[in-house]
Amino acid sequence: MSVFGNRPTDAQLADFRERVRAHIAQHAPPIEAREGHRAPETAEQEALLRAWFASLFEAGLAGADWPVEYGGRDDHHPLHDRIVSEEILRARAPRPVDQVNLAAHVLLHFGSDEQKRRLLPPIRRSEQVWCQLLSEPDAGSDIAAIRSRGAHQADGGWLIDGQKTWITDGHWADMGLALIRTDPASSRHHGLSVFAVPLSADGVEIRPIRTIGDAIEVNEVFLTGVRLGAQSLIGEVGQGWSIIMAGLDFERFGIGGNVILLELLIDDLVTVAGKSLIDGAPALDSDDIRQQVAELAVEAEVAKAFIDDHVERLTSGDEQPGDGSIAKLSFAETYHRVAAYGAELAATTIIEGAGNPDVEQAKQRLRECWLWSRAYTISGGSSEMMRNILAKRRLRLPSR
């Protein structure tokens, strides 16, 4: 039996999938999702995205795992979340902001009743988009090494100083979930606390970083003498590491839906390979290219099979140490290899019937996916960190 309660029947899941598809068809904005171009580029796009995300909450498709008193559904099961993610990806509709999900679960599990009443409703209405103020210039994926400081003030508030970097969606977010060192004598996992930071507060400066894909997805955020009230502290002082780790743990099921990105990549690769010419002959007549495409398709299926099994173990409470790291590695590294080969093929071959809109779109998507693919090997824990976790938790290797 699932640790999340009775698993829905196949018929119930099929009915739910049809409901999700109908909602997407009716409410999705006329904005095609592009890898590495997820943030809005105009005020009009931002308004459309906020309305779209709000519709998902209102329909019980987003935030369905919240407690019922805060807007969740009493019949929710994690497989529902996966279906929502899969169908949004298949429709190439904009995906909800991941950081909002993490912030919401941190508030639900560690926030005070006052914080929940004040901060959760604006999330469901998409009036407040959140970002994660975790990584720093000298810390990167090792967030235990952060140096941003928080000093307790006589009035009970806090004075925050520091710098955060690679902050996804920081340039259009309204709130930030910040991990701050509140004990100056502490190191590593100790002496950290979590704050809800309004990005409109005095002393907050946001500097967008333009990516290699010529988009603004990430930012530097400077916190200089930012004054926060006592109500901005989430949980207890010094509880920050466990709060953030628990928050990241809530995102484990996201990888299940994202595996659809591999299917879409393979579809685009096959489209381009099928129309590519080498020395006037179809590229797929080449044994080497045909074998490479087949091997990548098999690799994507292997990653999908493992992730499917991983999700099943999660829902049944049978997760093994390191499963999450294997799933993350499988997705991120496979995505990069498929995108890199597809972009190379698109750039080095002649395309039969150039100008075909379907083929041109597939070529563009492969290029954009390749340029963004390294982000997947870093965000949410770099591939190097995932291998270290596997070495310690799965293989039981010594740290030294």
Residues 210 and 314 in one domain: no
The single residue of 46, 58, 220, 251 carrying the catalytic annotation is 251
Do the domain assignments include residue 36? yes
Q: What's the confidence (pLDDT) of residue 393?
A: 85
Distance between CA atoms of 233 and 238, rounded to whole angstroms? 10
Residues 276 and 343 in one domain: yes
Domain's final residue, options 195, 212, 239: 239
pTM summary value: 0.91
Do the domain assignments include residue 34? yes
Encode pLDDT of 246-297 as tens digits: 877 665 555 556 889 999 999 999 999 999 998 888 899 999 999 999 999 9
Do the domain assignments include residue 3? no
Do the beta carbons of residue 173 and residue 199 sit within 8 Å? yes
Residues 39 and 144 in one domain: no
Beta bridge partners of 132: 177
Residues 262 and 234 in one domain: no
Residue 336 sits in a domain of what CATH number?
A: 1.20.140.10
Residues 27 and 134 in one domain: no
Q: What's the confidence (pLDDT) of residue 356?
A: 85
Residue 251 annotated as catalytic: yes
Residues 147 and 222 in one domain: yes
What long-range pairs does 305-312 form, CB within 8 A, spacing at least 24? Answer: 306/330, 307/255, 307/256, 307/259, 307/331, 308/256, 308/259, 310/255, 310/256, 311/78, 311/79, 311/82, 311/253, 311/256
Contacts of 345 (CB under 8 A, 6+ apart): 269, 272, 273, 276, 283, 289, 366
* Per-residue buried b or exposed e for 310-330, using 16+ beta carbons within 10 Å of the residue's own CB: bbeebbeeebeebbbbbbbbb
Do the domain assignments include residue 176? yes
Residues 32 and 58 in one domain: yes
Distance between CA atoms of 131 and 156, rounded to whole angstroms? 25
Residues 374 and 260 in one domain: yes
* Per-residue buried b or exposed e for 371-396, using 16+ beta carbons within 10 Å of the residue's own CB: bbbbbbbbbbbbbebbeebbeeeeee
Residues 150 and 218 in one domain: yes
Encode pLDDT of 20-79 as tens digits: 999 999 999 999 999 999 999 999 999 999 999 999 999 999 999 999 999 999 999 989
How is residue 7 written in tokens? 């698993």
Residue 210 sits in a domain of what CATH number?
A: 2.40.110.10
Task: Kindly provide the residue ranges of all beta strands, DSSP E only, lying in 229-300, ordered along the sequence.
Answer: 233-234, 276-278, 281-282
Structural domains in the chain (count)? 3
Q: Per residue of the chain (400 residues), what is the pLDDT tens digit?
A: 345 668 899 999 999 999 999 999 999 999 999 999 999 999 999 999 999 999 999 999 999 999 999 999 999 998 999 999 999 999 999 999 888 988 999 999 999 999 999 999 999 999 999 999 999 998 766 788 899 999 999 999 999 999 999 999 999 999 999 999 999 988 888 999 999 999 999 999 999 999 999 999 999 999 999 999 999 999 999 999 999 888 776 655 555 568 899 999 999 999 999 999 988 888 999 999 999 999 999 999 999 988 888 888 877 888 888 888 888 888 999 999 999 999 999 999 888 866 789 999 999 999 999 999 998 888 777 888 889 888 988 888 987 6
Do the domain assignments include residue 140? yes
Beta bridge partners of 193: 180
DSSP letter (8 states) at residue 236:
S
Do the domain assignments include residue 250? no
Q: What's the confidence (pLDDT) of residue 289?
A: 94
Q: What's the confidence (pLDDT) of residue 1?
A: 39
Residues 323 and 365 in one domain: yes
Do the domain assignments include residue 145? yes
Residues 262 and 383 in one domain: yes
Do the beta carbons of residue 247 and residue 105 sit within 8 Å? yes
Do the domain assignments include residue 121? no
Q: What's the confidence (pLDDT) of residue 312?
A: 81
Domain's final residue, options 204, 239, 274: 239
Structural domain including 15 reads: 10-96
Angle at 112 between CA 108 and CA 116, to 5 degrees: 50
Domain's final residue, options 195, 213, 239: 239
Residues 260 and 390 in one domain: yes
Name the phi and psi angles at 146, rounded to 5.
Answer: -65, 155
